[in-house]
Amino acid sequence: MRIVLLGAPGAGKGTQCKRIAAKYGLMHLSSGDILRQERAAGSNLGKKAQSYMDAGELVPDKIIVEMMAGAIKKAADNGFVLDGFPRTVNQAVELDKALTLAGQKINAVLNLEVNDQLIVRRMAGRRSCPKCGAVYHLENLKPKVEGICDNDGDKLVQRPDDNAKVVANRLKTYHQQTEPVVAYYKNNNTVYDINANRTADEVTAAIFENLDAMVSV
Ligand code: AMP
């Protein structure tokens, strides 16, 4: 199964993708996570991406398409769930081209819909573990011990691009450049609109209901 998860930054894509990947045995491919790993490793790719990420802007398509095509090639045959990619119509077109060449296609697109005010609140409270990437929230998804990762005991941090000014820019970028991707997929694929103004567990239940129905067809 090959799935794309769309939604604004802070819509809960990462949390939901991890759950989808675990339930259906898929590889979770997050463009943001791959970029953060490249930055941490000090690679050329990471250095090129840095200024765009810090400003809440999109890294150029050419860099991202190449990076994600490489990650997709390495994914196992049973498939993947894409998180944060594609983020422009051009990226979506390039992804379709690469999949067609490999005799594959996207089976389902999930579109997480959240209102902007809620996103700003969610991102202000988001904390993550720099070591394992687990994501928490100060109010909705608390770790067992405040400020500490449940998995490895590392100290939780706020992503530098989750500060208010950058969040505003990321939302603007989303509306201008990524919302048209939803329309692109609605013309070409099955898109499941999911109301994501709810708890993470409620959103997961709605996603699983749609995917289970699809798998059983
Ligand atoms: P995320 O963790 O998905 O919110 O991504 C963090 C940042 O990485 C974004 O604000 C962008 O600067 C960059 N980024 C991630 N995915 C993409 C993409 N598909 N296209 C362009 N830039 C991206």
- Centre of ligand 1 to C-alpha 50, Å, is 10
Q: For residue 48, indicate whether it is catalytic.
A: no
Distance CA 135, CA 44 (A): 26
Q: What percent of the chain has pLDDT over 90?
A: 79
What is the DSSP secondary structure assignment for residue 103, as one 8-state letter?
Answer: T
Position 24, amino acid: Y
| Among 93, 107, 88, 81, residue whose Cα is nearest residue 13 | 81
The pLDDT assigned to 217 comes to: 67
Note whether 105 and 80 are within 8 A (CB): no
Among 16, 57, 87, which is best to mutate for testing ligand 1, by the most ligand atoms less than 8 A from CB? 87
**pLDDT (mean) for 87-113:** 95
- The answer, as to whether pTM is greater than 0.75, is yes
| Among 86, 123, 109, residue whose Cα is nearest residue 12 | 123
**pLDDT (mean) for 20-37:** 95
Q: Could you identify the atom of ligand 1 that is nearest to the CA of residue 30?
A: 3
Residue 128's DSSP bridge partners are 135, 157
117-160 residue pLDDT tens? 989 888 889 999 999 989 999 988 899 999 999 999 999 999 88
Q: For residue 13, indicate whether it is catalytic.
A: yes
Among 2, 19, 87, 127, the one annotated catalytic: 87
Q: For residue 39, indicate whether it is catalytic.
A: no
61-94 residue pLDDT tens? 999 999 999 999 888 778 999 999 999 999 999 9
Supply φ then ψ for residue 7, to 5 degrees: 155, 155
Q: For residue 87, indicate whether it is catalytic.
A: yes
Q: Could you identify the atom of ligand 1 that is nearest to the CA of residue 13?
A: 3
